[in-house]
Amino acid sequence: MLKILKYSFYDLIRSRWSYVYFLFYLALGFVLLFLNNDVSKAVITLMNIIIVLVPLIGTIFGVMYYYNSREFTELLLAQPIKRTSIFLGQYLGVAGSLSLSLILGLGIPFVIYGLFRSDAIFDFTLLLVTGGFLTLIFTALSFNIALSNENKIKGFGYAVLLWLFMAVIYDGLFLMSLILFEEYPLDTFSLTATMLNPIDLSRTLILLKLDISALLGYTGAVFKDFFGTNKGFLISFTMLALWTILPIWRLIHKAKMKDF
């Protein structure tokens, strides 16, 4: 598995897209800091980008890589290698290189602009950690989609739909139900609904660090009581980990069963 991981990883590291992705984050980091010159304010802007762009790129890139390397996968399948290691290796290669681009691309400009001297370091670390989780989650989901769909167009369609649902439609439904049931106590509902979507969960985790003043209303207090404590923090990260592990487990399961 490690060999395949290494191969996939180096293959991707050498590929143009990884560089584009890395350079995009690098440029973004520098431009943001150049315009703002304030690390903590740049972190807020960055959050918007991370929770929207990271899942999108993870999904598209995962699907693309799977379909592109299909012939190579088939070649590998002919060798005496465990299926688990082939797919897991490929997955980790993609997710790893994407995470690396994200962390290096954003990390370098922030470190140059004095991250270690600013008090935003914890917020920034949280941002990168959630960004890393989102990459892992959405790459795994996209591998699942690609594995289940032989048809490339269908696969891409589902992948985009998945992103659209998680990033936009889910919040729309969430909002509608909040407004529809406004006469009922909605604390537990909104907490659960937030936990069930990794994008919402990451957003809330970061928001509680940044927009604290707006969130200090009644609902905010409920959220702060939950996410602000160590227990809530732990549960949130367990949730993110679950979101990572479940698709990977299904990926392995599916790969074992699949008839190529």
Contacts of other proteins in 181-210 (CB under 8 A): 182, 186-187, 190, 194, 200, 203-204, 207
Closest approach of other proteins to the CB of residue 120, in Å: 14
Smallest separation (angstroms) from other proteins to the CB of 174: 7
Length in residues, the chain = 260
Q: Decide if residue 221 touches other proteins (CB under 8 A).
A: yes
Closest to 94 (Cα-Cα) out of 50, 34, 152, 138: 138
The site string for other proteins over 148-167 (x = CB under 8 A, - otherwise) reads -------------------x
Chosen residue from 79, 80, 117, 218 binding other proteins by CB under 8 A: 218
Side-chain-side CA neighbours of residue 4 (13 Å): 20
Nearest distance from C-beta of residue 259 to other proteins, angstroms: 39
Q: Which two tokens stand for residue 31?
A: 């431009």
Residue closer to other proteins (CB basis): 127 or 251: 127
The structure tokens 């899942």 sit at 55
CB neighbours (10 Å) of residue 116? 8
Burial of 254 per CB tally in 10 Å (0-12, 13-18, 19+): middle
Q: What b-and-e string marks burial along 221-251, b requiring 16 or more CB atoms within 10 Å of the CB?
A: ebbeebbeeeebeeebeebbeebbeebbebb
Using CB under 8 A, which of 215, 239, 246, 252 touches other proteins? Answer: 215
Binding site for other proteins (CB under 8 A): 41, 44, 47-48, 51-52, 167-169, 171-172, 174-175, 178-179, 182, 186-187, 190, 194, 200, 203-204, 207, 211-221, 223
